[in-house]
Amino acid sequence: MIKLLHIIAISALIVSAGYAYSIKYDTLYYAEQVAKLKSRTQREREAIAVLQAEWQYLDRPDRLQAAADQHLDLQPLKIQQLARLSDLPNRPEREDEIGRKLEALGLLGPTATPKDRSNEARTPSTQTPRR
Partner 1 sequence: MLHEPHLDPKAKSPPPARSILSHARELFRLRLDKSTSRVSLAALCFAGLFSVIGGRLVQLAVTSENTSEVRRAASSEISAARPDIVDRNGEILATDVKMVSVFAEPRNIIDKDEAVELLTAVLPDLDATDLRNKLNTKKGFVWVKREITPRQQAEVHRLGIPGVGFLPENKRVYPNAEAAAHVLGFANVDNVGIAGIEKYIDSMGLQDLNGAGFNISAADLKPVQLSIDLRVQHALRDELMKGMTKFKAKATAGAVLDVNTGEVIALVSLPDYDPNNPVDALDKDRINRINVGVFEMGSTFKALTVAMALDSGKYNINSTLDARSGLRYGKFTIGDYHATHRVLTVPEVFIHSSNIGTARMALGIGVEGHKAFLRKMGQLTRLDTELPESALPIIPPRWGELNTMTIAFGHGLAVAPLQALMAVGALVNGGMLIKPTFLKRDEEQARQTALQVIKPETSEAMRYVMRLNASNPAGSAGSAAIAGFFVGGKTGTAEKVINGRYSKNKNFTTFTAVVPADKPKYVFLTIMDEPQAIEGTYGFSTAGWNAGPVTGNVIERVAPLLGIPPRFEPPAQPFPLMSRLNAWGTH
Decide whether 54 or 103 has the Cβ nearer to partner 1.
54
Residues between 2 and 41 that touch partner 1 (CB under 8 A): none
Please answer whether residues 98 and 104 qualify as being in contact, where contact means their C-beta atoms are separated by less than 8 angstroms. no
User: 28: helix, coil or strand?
Assistant: helix
Decide whether 109 or 129 has the Cβ nearer to partner 1.
129
Q: What is the dihedral of CA 115, 118, 119, 123, to 10 degrees?
A: 130
Please answer whether residues 74 and 65 qualify as being in contact, where contact means their C-beta atoms are separated by less than 8 angstroms. no
Residues between 47 and 106 that touch partner 1 (CB under 8 A): 49-50, 52-54, 56-57, 59-62, 65, 76-77, 79-80, 82, 84
Find the length of the chain: 131
Cα(56)–Cα(59) distance, integer angstroms: 5
Decide whether 4 or 82 has the Cβ nearer to partner 1.
82
Decide whether 45 or 101 has the Cβ nearer to partner 1.
45
User: Which residues form the interface with partner 1 (CB under 8 A)?
Assistant: 45-46, 49-50, 52-54, 56-57, 59-62, 65, 76-77, 79-80, 82, 84, 118-119, 121-129, 131
